[in-house]
Amino acid sequence: MDNEQRLAQLERKIQYLTDRTAILDCIARNARGCDRHDRELLASSYHDDGTDEHGYEVNPGARYPDYANKVHAAGSMHNMHNITTHTCEIDGDTAHCESYVIGLFLNTDGKSARLIAGRYVDRLERREGEWKIALRRSTVEVLMTGDASILSLPLFTKLGYLRGTRDERDVSYQRPLTLEETPDRWDVG
């Protein structure tokens, strides 16, 4: 293999890694947008004409944040979407992805929780150099409930862990990150 072939092979590998990183960043941005109820962040993961299907609920990507925030707020005090196994097949400017997701939801009673496990099956497209979701279909494969009352017991609350918030007061938005500002702890209220 001559230098020109090696360089071309290296460029293909770099492009693949760059694309994979951008695609996974989009998937993570979507999950974070859901958990922080950050409408703009969540909408930024969909193309303007993108579509999201959660069960019978089908929303244009631009309206999905309003639907997701409403559903999450009605059913839980906190939620966390964890992306685990992620596969991706890139074909030019189209990527077919499957991301396993584990959703944890602290119910509005503050004493019980749900765990929902499923997959996001996505078609992402690169348009104007940016990867975003064109179509998302969601599966649910495991749904469990459990006791979360330990969160209100002194055994836990005396530890003073930070509590996430569903807005830009959340510690993850703090720039620069310091110990000076703490929006909420589990020992409060």
Instruction: Write the pLDDT tens digit of every residue in 29-81.
Output: 999 999 999 999 999 999 999 999 999 999 999 999 999 999 999 999 999 99
Do 157 and 138 have their domain in common? Answer: no
Alpha-carbon span 79 to 72, nearest angstrom: 7
pLDDT in tens, 70-103: 999 999 999 999 999 999 999 999 999 999 999 9
| Closest by CA position to 124, among listed 19, 13, 38, 53 | 19
Of the candidates 122, 116, 131, the residue with the CA atom closest to the CA atom of residue 98: 122
Residues 13 and 37 in one domain: yes
Same-domain status, 59 and 128: yes
- 137 and 118 in contact (C-beta within 8 Å)? no
61 and 148 housed in the same domain: yes
Query: Do 115 and 82 reside in the same domain of the chain?
Result: yes
**pLDDT value at residue 188:** 53
For the cut 80, the answer to whether the pLDDT of residue 183 exceeds it is no
Indicate whether 27 and 75 sit together in one domain.
yes
Contact 136, 121 (CB under 8 A): yes
| Number of domains comprising the chain | 2
What is the domain extent for residue 136?
A: 3-152
Q: Are residues 38 and 124 in the same domain?
A: yes
- 30 and 123, same domain (yes or no): yes
